[in-house]
Amino acid sequence: MVHEVRNVRPIAGGMTGAVVALDASAHDSHRFVLKLYRPDPFEPDSADREAGILELLAPTDLPVPRLVAIDREGSEAVWPALLMTRMPGRRRFRPREVGPWLEGMARLAARIHSARVPLEALPTHRLWGADDPLPLPDWWSKPAVWKVAVEVFRGQPPHEPVTFIHRDFHPGNVLWKGRRPSGIVRCMEVADLWRSTWLTAGSTCGSTSGGM
């Protein structure tokens, strides 16, 4: 039970709401994150989905937060909210040594893909950006390459083994401590089929796939 809350401070980077760090004592075991989800009629169950994924990943060895409490409807926190443990480390966007940084990201992605999760618990994959016309960007200099990329994106998924993926795996969702990744954040989406989403801006933590 938490008797005292102190050291409350916002965490930068929340795109779908607000994220707040707080401490209940001086011990690491009482370091929490409160995530508040801005009401969205298109995603009314965001808090519930992320809570479900955190519970799904709890038995694995992946460095993800542990769920502490949930306010599904926002009856206590005004907005739907999750209270979870706070992972150690910081985001690292400009590493001094790119090689070890890339290797750490790749090894972490491999751990995600090999996580033993019950695939039957994952909903059907949804293709993000399916209705986006994906016009040629002004900054892109090779129209033929872009055309092929769009065709691949809209084509049939490859015949690969179904596996678990993050769906928003990038440096902003990985924490580092020293030379090693120490935490994975933003765990919201799951699915049961591979499809690259690199042409779109959407997606998030958990999906099944045959690729990264």
pLDDT at position 207 is: 45
pLDDT in tens, 133-183: 899 999 999 999 999 999 988 888 767 777 787 878 889 899 999 999 999
Burial degree of 84 (CB within 10 A; 0-12, 13-18, 19+): buried
- Between CA 174 and CA 87 the distance in angstroms is 10
- Between CA 190 and CA 47 the distance in angstroms is 14
pLDDT (mean) for 56-69? 92
Q: CATH 3.30.200.20 in the chain: give the residue spans.
A: 6-85
The CATH number of 6-85 is which of 3.60.15.10, 3.40.50.300, 3.40.630.30, 3.30.200.20?
A: 3.30.200.20
Burial 110-130 (b: 16+ CB within 10 A, else e): eebbebebeeeebeebebbee
Sheet holding 90-91, edge to edge: 90-91, 174-177, 180-184
Please state the pTM of the whole predicted model. 0.75
Contact between 70 and 81 under an 8 Å Cβ cutoff? The reply is: yes
CA distances in angstroms from 31 to 9, 62, 67, 69, 211, listed in the order given: 12, 18, 12, 14, 34
pLDDT in tens, 30-48: 889 999 988 877 777 888 8
